[in-house]
Amino acid sequence: MKTRAMVCHAPGAPLVEEELDLAPPGPGEVLIEIMASGLCHTDLSQLEGVAAPYPFPIVVGHEGAGVVREVGPGVTSLRVGDHVVPLGIGECGECGNCRSGLTNLCEAFLADMASQPTPFSLGGKRVSAYSGVGSLAQFIVTAERNVALIRKDVPFELACTVGCCVATGVGAVLHTADVGEGATVAVFGLGGIGLNVVQGARLAGASRIIGVDINPLRDAQGRRFGMTDFIDARNADPVDAIRALTGGGCDFAFECAGNIKLMQQAFESTRIGWGCTVVLGVPPDGAALSLVPFQLQLGRRVQGSFMGNMKGRSQLPGLLDHYAEGRLNLDDLVTHRLPMREVNNGFALMKRGEALRTVVSFARNES
């Protein structure tokens, strides 16, 4: 079948609408109509060639929500009409990693990272699907293990956010760092992921949640998600400021911008003896974080987290239960809603720091 999609043909080039060939769902696969897709900074990094793990041309987008329109042979957990979120990290539930209870990195996901499967093509030539999703398309095809069944009473334009920024931020607090009641938390970078770290820390019962950013608008915005203190990094050294606010260093620091300097600052802001730094941002290709081993021997640690260490099919849908019951704020997270033809403007809003989350869709009225 054919599908409309926004395609980037080369690093730095604008996205253009194309009519792509879409492979039909095979055994164990489903066809999804994407009703809404959030724009993520990692999409922008791919488009600009800064951190680009997939070859061009490419359909970016990995934060989608939609409706199952067709199921292939052998699909048992999904039906036509189900509301779903496609997943960059699937969950087969059977491999050693899935059964370990220690990671969300399903072995099938690791295999897909190497093979980079895609259902898209143009003129007989392959078009990549970012993170195996490619949600800036009207229809996608993906494996059953890469689809989370969600409740139907949450609007698609909000539900899509759990596919990346909400899962990454909230999950990193609850599933990676295991932040406890009364802990002090610093969040470096208050974009979509950082603000979800903030509200994850609030859910965990943190006593102090300190946001660090160079955009003064993030002060008021962050407080709507549970932030208690704001540091404008243009005017103050965040390490010194955090140490002063916490009496020596925070218990947990989260880097959410993909900036090596901020990763270093986050680490230095944690308390000697037990401080934990969680790296969530994706830095430019080839960038490396340098640490003196003695700094680790003093009891601090650094952790990475991919999608908040949340299992996509079994745990991610519960985030929407938190929203429906008033514990998560998604309404203030989505600040802009645009038709798909304005997707380049959506990325421009992101670069200017004017949007928290922009959601786009072919389903929106584009007349």
pLDDT at 364: 56
Residues of the chain with CATH 3.90.180.10: 2-163+333-361
Task: Give 10-residue mean pLDDT values along the chain (367 residues).
Answer: 98 98 98 98 95 96 98 98 97 97 96 94 98 98 98 98 98 97 98 97 98 96 97 97 98 96 97 97 88 92 96 97 97 97 97 95 63
Please give the CATH number for the structural domain made up of 2-163+333-361: 3.90.180.10
For 300: left if phi > 0, alpha if psi spans -120 to 50, otherwise beta; the answer is beta
Listing from the earlier edge strand, what are the strands of the sheet with 276-279?
Answer: 229-232, 208-213, 184-188, 252-255, 276-279, 301-304
**Selection from 111, 201, 141, 149 nearest residue 315 by Cα:** 149
Q: Hunting for tokens 């900074």 — which residue is that?
A: 41
For 325-350, b/e burial (b = at least 16 CB within 10 A) is eeebbbeebbebebbbebbeebbebb
d(CA 186, CA 239) in angstroms, rounded, equals 10
Q: Does domain 169-305 have CATH number 2.30.40.10?
A: no
For the chain, the first-to-last Cα distance in angstroms comes to 24
All CATH 3.40.50.720 domain ranges in the chain, comma separated? 169-305
* Distance from C-alpha of 134 to C-alpha of 119, rounded to nearest angstrom: 9
Entry pTM: 0.95
